Amino acid sequence: MIHFVILLSRQGKVRLTKWYSPYQQKERATVIRELSGLILSRGPKLCNFVEWKGYKVVYRRYASLYFCMCIDQDDNELEILEIIHHFVEILDRYFGSVCELDLIFNFHKAYYILDEILIAGELQESSKKTVARLIAAQDTMVETAKEEAGSISNMISQAM
């Protein structure tokens, strides 16, 4: 299973973290510090995996952003690498040529998308279309709710 997902910028800034196994706030900080030291310093031609404290961390770099996932010893690294890519492709489709800035300002949306792809540390949905449909449904629901709220407040303001 995937124990956590971390998005790091090349400067070591945290862009997104999601913990599927229990980690205290302090442990989280150490994990991030250790991993950024370990991963950011690796050369481009090396393996996309690092062994770390009995776990394996699979990472992949997209432009200046590192996507890291921590998995168990007996998991399939290449599969995780593709799960990362799957996530990025869905982000790309949602934001339209996604860039790091999208994730910085919309990190909560990135969380929603991640929640549709991974659940409880396992891959939940491997169909991009299904994920896209669910996210779109949620967005429209939110939009309609907003419009309704807007029209009500309009009515109130007019009435007053």
Partner 1 sequence: MEQLKTIGRELAMGSQGGAWAGQSKEFLDLVKSIGEARSKAEEDRIILLEIETLRRRIAEPDVPRRRMKDYIIRLVYAEMLGHDASFGYIHAVKMTHDDSLALKRTGYLAVTLFLSDDHDLIILIINTIQKDLRSDNYLIVCAALTAACKLINEETIPAVLPQVVDLLAHPKEAVRKKAVMALHRFYQRSPSSVSHLISNFRKKLCDNDPGVMGASLYPLFDFITEDVNSYKDLVTSFVSVLKQVAERKLPKTYDYHQMPAPFIQIKLLKILALLGSGDKQTSGHIYNVLSDIFRKCETSSNIGNAVLYECICCVSSIYPNAKLMDSAIEATSKFLKSDSHNLKYMGIDSLGRLIKINPDIAEEHQLAVIDCLEDPDDTLKRKTFELLYKMTKSSNVEVIVDRMIDYMISINDNHYKTEIASRCVALAEQFAPSNQWFIQTMNKVFEHAGDLVNVRVAHNLMRLISEGFGEDDEGADSQLRSSAVDSYLRILGEPKLPSLFLQVICWVLGEYGTADGKYAVSYIIGKLCDVTEAHLCNDTVKAYAISAIMKICAFEIAAGRKVEMLPECQSFIDELSASHSTDLQQRAYELQALLSLDSQAVGSVLPLDASCEDIEVDKELSFLNNFVQQSIEMGANPYLPESEQLGMSGVSNFRSPYQQEASSHTLRFEAYELPKPSSIPVIPQASVLTQTRDLVPVPGTTYYRENNLGSKLPTGPEASSADVGIKLRLDGVQKKWGKPTYSSSSSGATSAEKTTNGIGAHQDGIRSQSRDTVYDSRRQQPEVSAEKQRLAASLFSSSASKTEKKPTSGQRMPKGSDANAEKSSVARSVSPGNSEVKTAAPDLLDFGEPVPISAPTIDPFKELEGLIGPAQAVIDNSITTSGVQAPDLMATLYMDTPPSGSRSSSSGLVSEGVYSTDKGSHTAKPTPAVKKGPNLQDALGKDATVRQVGVTPTGNNPNLFRDLLG
- Residue partners of 27: CB distance under 8 A and separation at least 6: none
Interface residue with partner 1 among 2, 65, 69, 71 (CB under 8 A) is 65
Contact yes or no for 31/44 (Cβ under 8 A)? no
Please state the closest distance from residue 99 (CB atom) to partner 1, in A.
5
Burial class (CB in 10 A: 0-12, 13-18, 19+), 44: exposed
Which tokens sit at 88?
């990025």
Interface residue with partner 1 among 97, 158, 159, 160 (CB under 8 A) is 97
Contact yes or no for 5/120 (Cβ under 8 A)? no
Please state the closest distance from residue 157 (CB atom) to partner 1, in A.
15
Interface residue with partner 1 among 10, 147, 151, 152 (CB under 8 A) is 10
Please state the closest distance from residue 159 (CB atom) to partner 1, in A.
19
C-alpha span between 16 and 99 (Å, rounded) = 14
Which tokens sit at 57?
């961390």
Binding of partner 1 by 41 (CB under 8 A) = no
Interface residue with partner 1 among 130, 147, 152, 154 (CB under 8 A) is 130
Going from the C-alpha of 154 to that of each of 141, 143, 145, 148, the distances in angstroms are 20, 16, 14, 10
Please state the closest distance from residue 70 (CB atom) to partner 1, in A.
14
Binding of partner 1 by 154 (CB under 8 A) = no
Please state the closest distance from residue 107 (CB atom) to partner 1, in A.
7
Size of the site for partner 1 (CB under 8 A): 84
Interface residue with partner 1 among 105, 147, 152, 155 (CB under 8 A) is 105
